[in-house]
Amino acid sequence: MLEVDKYLAKEIANMKGKLITIGLSNKLLGCIEKNQAIVECMAMDATEYDKNKNYGLFGPTKVLGLKKIRKKFKKKKHHILIMNIKHIKRNVKTIIRDSIYITKENIYIYGAKKDFDVELLKKRYKRYKVIIDYTEYKNSYVLKIDVTKAKNHKILDMFYYISDSIYNGVELFSDFLVK
């Protein structure tokens, strides 16, 4: 087990309530299954699965797009959200806003440093007045984001979405010019 997996396994052992996971390995899903304090777990995009069967650890699996996560889960109904950055990096603009919207307590984001810029991720979460605990390992990291005091605002969310889109467009254009 990697250092990140060990850290997350310890954290999962202490978790309570409803949980949503995006891109967790089967080892970590097994840790969730062992924890009796977790009332409900919605596992999305497991990294290891059997392609022939449509059954996961918690029953039949259903494909749910990350863009529809806000429609599926209601406001502040789930306690904890655990995400692998590799699975969400295409939809980071919407996932940040939606994760604040659906989570009551903590958000865990983990992954390799090469997959996404950690400082940009921290900056985008700081907009919502959250407390970020950053744990760094050799080639990976874990962000623990406390969202108990975070608030959503529709107009600000729209402004952040537009500014992030412009930022991504400028980055794409500058990469094109450099090549």
87 contact partners, CB below 8 Å, separation of at least 6: 22, 23, 45, 47
Q: What is the pLDDT of residues 39-98, one digit of tens each?
A: 888 877 644 434 444 445 555 544 445 556 666 776 777 788 888 888 887 878 888 888
Q: Do the Cβ atoms of 13 and 33 come closer than 8 Å? A: no
**Contact in structure between 145 and 106 (CB atoms under 8 Å):** yes
**Which domains, ranges and CATH numbers included, belong to the chain?**
3-150 (3.40.50.150)
How is residue 24 written in tokens? 């967790």
What is the reported pTM?
0.81
